[in-house]
Amino acid sequence: MTDDAIRPAFHGHEQIPLREYAERAYLDYSMYVVLDRALPFIGDGLKPVQRRIVYSMSELGLNAGAKPKKSARTVGDVIGKYHPHGDSACYEALVLMAQPFSYRYPLIEGQGNFGSPDDPKSFAAMRYTESKLTPIAEVLLGELGQGTVDWTPNFDGTLEEPTWLPARLPHLLLNGTTGIAVGMATDVPPHNLNEIVSACIRLIDDPDATVADLCEHVRGPDYPTKAEIITAPSDLRAMYENGTGSVRARAVWRKDNANLVIEALPYQVSPSKVIEQIAAQMRAKKLPWLEDIRDESDHANPVRVVLIPRSNRVDAEQLMGHLFATTDLEKSYRVNLNIIGLDGRPQVKNLRMLLTEWLAFRSDTVTRRLKHRLEKVERRLHLLEGLLVAFLNLDEVIRIIRTEDEPKAALIARFALSEEQADYILDTKLKQLARLEEMKIRGEQDELQAEREKIAGILESKAKLKKLIKDELTADAKKFGDARLSPLVQRDAAQALDETELVASEPMTVVLSEKGWIRAAKGHDVDAATLSYRDGDGLLAAVRSRSTQQVAFLDSEGRSYSTAVHTLPSARGNGEPLTGRFSPAAGASFRALASGDNDSRFVLASSHGYGFVTRFENLTGRQKAGKAMLNLTPGAGVLQPAQVANVGTDRIVAVTSAGHLLAFPVSELPELDKGKGNKLIDIPKAKLGTERVVAIAAVAPGSTLLVKSGQRTMSLSFKDLDEYVGARATRGGLLPRGWQKVGGLDVQ
């Protein structure tokens, strides 16, 4: 069987395996994105779309001195002639170059709505806005028609466009750029023009200058905002050394009487977003120090956000530190100096490599400009030479032109002229020839010869070429340079305040219902029994706490869960189910709760009479599924924990359903992080099915134990407990007749 039979050919189409096609297509796309879309060229610091916009606008005559024209016309020109892509993306690129809050040195001057710092993408449609180039765009375009660039056909081959623009300044570092290519990205921050020029001149004078030397001139990025750059100088130097790193910027604020006024935000941070972030914290009661927040921004003050503290005792530094740590008032920017170099390849370059390469580009551009001018001067001198011959023999020239059939050949033969000179004489009108003055011709010749010598001198001398580049850099810096916008300030890292620090410390009573609903009432004098409960529900337990503390819950399987008290719902309603906050095992129910400081001691015990002392910190955790705390024997339940005031003096009291009560020192019970614990009171094995521990309590000297039996309560002082004191794990003493059906214990 032939090959053709196996793989039929389609007429006029090449056949290749799908894998090969896919690989090639992906590679072509990747290279296109890297080289022709996402990454800038080191020479002019522009991506193709930006270059095409700037060039098109110069072609339309939209220079700084011209009247602006509709942006739609410009975009139409760009996508029609040079950039066959979407109009909206092209217009967005144009808008970005016109936004003074996005570009450090905007290349386009926009008239109409070009967006705001609050919403950079809120610009009007291109049919409504007008635009033209700014004066600084001249830095990119000024030398365009002087033989400085290579030209390439446009997408349909009908026009030519510049491969790059002959930038007189390292524009890449002035405005910076960002871009995401395939497998790589670029993030170049903007810089101050004067600082960059100063570093370039240093590098011209001292080609061996290190990055550290250049950092004496380039102190750091300079964003189009007055927010502080707080990155340490050593980190900035490392960033310029490696070509990668990050820069951290922080909002600028001041005190205005009792209020705090934010006057500058980090680059590309929206005031409304920051206000929303702060307001969200206020709604969540995480900013009790703040009374209100106001946006007083206007034309005179583009950013003015006023924070109103609750009192003048609020620590402003601490509050702002918290906001820096938790909102966009402080922002970090990635830096990755990944650029297409002169060799046409992308590479992450450090500051020295970048500036050295750009100076090589600039030196090449200036050399090309000078050679182009030299050619023009020499051509003009050649023509003037012929014109002088014509002037000195004017009558003869006029006679030849009038009488000869082939005047060009006759002129060349008679005066030994070149073809170019003869054509020029013939193209000059006779009247002009008659008016020509020898002095004018010789004067122009002298001027041009002087210029030729000067240019030749520069081209022959590296020192003169360097001086010319330096002088031009200095002139541009003088014309377009300005003071630094972003101050460089060393600051300590911002610290977010702990939640508990932000919450006012108030007494609270936490109430847990039998069905596992939770709520918190203000104050300690709350009678939880009198609160309203849902149908079929009632009080299980209540503990005294504070709004700054945590509350822990134990479920029927002995697992512990915790949450902050200030986050609990108010006791005005029925509260919320704990299952909304935590994820207990199927069939498990919440049986007990405790609250205190981390170092508070609690006795945890089961209804089978085992338990241990533990610190409250062990009961707390972040897991929604809780953590194993009390190991239960089969059939055992969890008792309400008892808080221990003093491990050395307090007594633990355990009471069983049969009326056996035992008191023993806390010191006899071990302190554990978790586990089953030791035996508290003895329940004979034979009675485990019917007798259980009803409650436990920790009684301090001077306190009274309340034994509840039905509706009645018996008070036992610390001294009265002496007759029930015994060794741990013994049977204890029997309560008096009529008090043996114990409902619970309380301490007063």
What pLDDT, in 10s, does the model give residues 356-407? 999 999 999 999 999 999 999 999 999 999 988 888 888 888 899 888 889 8
Helix H or strand E encompassing 360: helix 351-392
User: H/E/C letters for each residue in 146-178?
Assistant: CCCCCEEECCCCCCEEECCCCCCCCHHHHHCEE
Write down the pLDDT at residue 220: 95
Write down the pLDDT at residue 34: 79
Average pLDDT over residues 351-355: 96
pLDDT tens profile 280-292: 988 887 787 888 9
Neighbour count for residue 518 (Cβ, 10 Å): 23
Return all residues near 75 (Cβ < 8 A) that are at least 6 apart. Answer: 87, 90, 91, 94, 126
Whole-angstrom CA distances from 297 to 120, 261, 302, 319 are 16, 11, 5, 22
Whole-angstrom CA distances from 424 to 15, 384, 413, 415 are 58, 9, 16, 14
Identify the three-state secondary structure at position 380: helix
Of 603, 602, 611, the closest CA to residue 680 belongs to: 611
Residue with tokens 């070009």: 114
pLDDT tens profile 293-342: 999 888 888 899 999 998 887 888 888 999 999 999 999 999 999 999 99
Residue with tokens 């590098």: 203
Bridge partner list, 708:
713, 744
d(CA 358, CA 41): 10
Write down the pLDDT at residue 485: 94
Query: Is it the case that residue 502 has pLDDT exceeding 70?
Result: no
Is the entire prediction scored with pTM above 0.85? Answer: no
pLDDT tens profile 409-468: 999 999 999 999 999 988 887 677 667 777 888 999 999 999 999 999 999 999 999 999
Q: How many residues does the chain have?
A: 748
Tell me the pLDDT of the chain averaged across its residues: 91
State the pLDDT confidence band at 499, using cuts at 50, 70 and 90.
low
Radius of gyration (C-alpha) of the chain in whole angstroms: 43
State the pLDDT confidence band at 496, using cuts at 50, 70 and 90.
confident
Average pLDDT over residues 7-15: 62
Q: Percent of the chain having pLDDT more than 90? A: 72
Write down the pLDDT at residue 694: 94
The dihedrals phi and psi of 188, each to the nearest 5 degrees, come to: -105, 120
Of 677, 657, 674, the closest CA to residue 732 belongs to: 657
* CB of 616 closer than 8 Å to CB of 594: yes
Write down the pLDDT at residue 688: 80
Write down the pLDDT at residue 2: 46
Token pair of 394 as six digits: 């004017």
Token pair of 476 as six digits: 């541009």
Of 681, 337, 330, the closest CA to residue 489 belongs to: 330
Write down the pLDDT at residue 10: 57
Write down the pLDDT at residue 365: 96
d(CA 561, CA 611): 18
d(CA 35, CA 19): 24
Of 79, 338, 48, the closest CA to residue 165 belongs to: 48
Q: Any idea of the CA torsion for 477, 481, 485, 490, to the nearest 10 degrees?
A: 20
Torsion sign across C-alpha atoms 122, 123, 126, 129: positive
Write down the pLDDT at residue 484: 95
- Better pLDDT: 686 or 243: 243
Helix H or strand E encompassing 19: helix 18-33
User: Which of 6-10, 432-436, 659-663 is the least confident region?
Assistant: 6-10
Q: Is 128 a catalytic residue?
A: yes
Write down the pLDDT at residue 273: 92
Q: Which of 82, 91, 128, 240 is catalytic?
A: 128
User: What is the identity of the amino acid at 15?
Assistant: Q
d(CA 540, CA 518): 10
Residue with tokens 């209804």: 607
* CB of 304 closer than 8 Å to CB of 296: yes
* CB of 728 closer than 8 Å to CB of 680: yes
User: In terms of C-beta density within 10 A (0-12 exposed, 13-18 middle, 19 or more buried), how is residue 396 classed?
Assistant: middle
Query: Is it the case that residue 14 has pLDDT exceeding 90?
Result: no
Write down the pLDDT at residue 690: 87
Please report how many Cα atoms fall inside a 13 Å half-sphere around the Cα of residue 532, on the Cβ side: 6
User: Which of 192-196, 495-499, 547-551 is the least confident region?
Assistant: 495-499
pLDDT tens profile 101-134: 999 999 999 999 999 988 899 999 999 999 999 9
